[in-house]
């Protein structure tokens, strides 16, 4: 299974992108989008890539288009959004790797360094600390993962 990094953007930026797309009828030219919302082009590409990995948008040509999953997420209440995103996270190979490692560990928990090592092995060009922070942030938002900062321990929020 090939593991790709996830863009280091917050869930709130992804939801913000969906809101902008919704206001525009679900479709936006990427270049115009960056200009209209005053984002640097590279930054908006990260947000779009994250949304695309979560299957919330597709990018035909130079456009970004909200999917049915993106529309459903936008219309959902907060707890339902978390559930919908949790389903999407579980499809991403990086998150599957994290969940599988936690399922194999005692009490479904592991030291954060174990994941830094996994990320360094599979994604040597990536900043393992930054990637881990994003994984934890997305995982905590969706209640897939939990994190104890004092112990630097990652755990499955509920045994998966």
Domains in the chain (CATH in brackets) are: 11-75 (1.10.10.10), 81-156 (no CATH)
Q: Which 8-state DSSP code applies to residue 160? A: -
Q: Going by C-beta distance under 8 Å and a sequence separation of 6 or more, which residues neighbour residue 66?
A: 18, 21, 22, 26, 27, 56, 57, 74
The answer to whether 99 touches 153, Cβ cutoff 8 Å, is no
* Number of Cβ within a 10 Å radius of residue 151: 11
The string of pLDDT tens digits covering residues 26-81 is 999 999 999 999 999 999 999 999 999 999 999 999 999 999 999 999 999 999 99
Instruction: Give the pLDDT confidence score for residue 102 in this predicted structure.
Output: 96
* Number of Cβ within a 10 Å radius of residue 150: 5
Q: pLDDT band for 111, please (50, 70, 90 cuts).
A: very high
Judge if pTM exceeds 0.85. Answer: yes
The answer to whether 10 touches 47, Cβ cutoff 8 Å, is no
């Amino acid at each position: 299974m090939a593991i790709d990094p996830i863009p280091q953007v917050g869930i709130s930026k992804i939801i913000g992108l969906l809101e902008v797309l919704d206001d525009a009828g679900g479709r936006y030219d990427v270049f115009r989008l960056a200009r209209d919302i005053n984002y640097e082009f590279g930054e908006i590409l990260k947000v779009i890539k994250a949304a695309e990995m979560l299957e919330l948008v597709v990018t035909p040509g130079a456009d970004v288009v909200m999917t049915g999953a993106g529309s459903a997420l936008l219309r959902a209440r907060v707890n339902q959004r978390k559930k919908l995103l949790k389903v999407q996270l579980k499809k991403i190979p990086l998150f599957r790797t994290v969940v599988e490692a936690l399922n194999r560990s005692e009490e479904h928990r592991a030291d954060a360094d174990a994941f830094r090592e996994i990320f360094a092995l599979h994604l040597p060009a990536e900043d393992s600390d930054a990637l881990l922070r994003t994984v934890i942030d997305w995982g905590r938002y969706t209640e897939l993962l939990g994190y104890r900062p004092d112990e630097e321990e990652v755990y499955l929020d509920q045994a998966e």
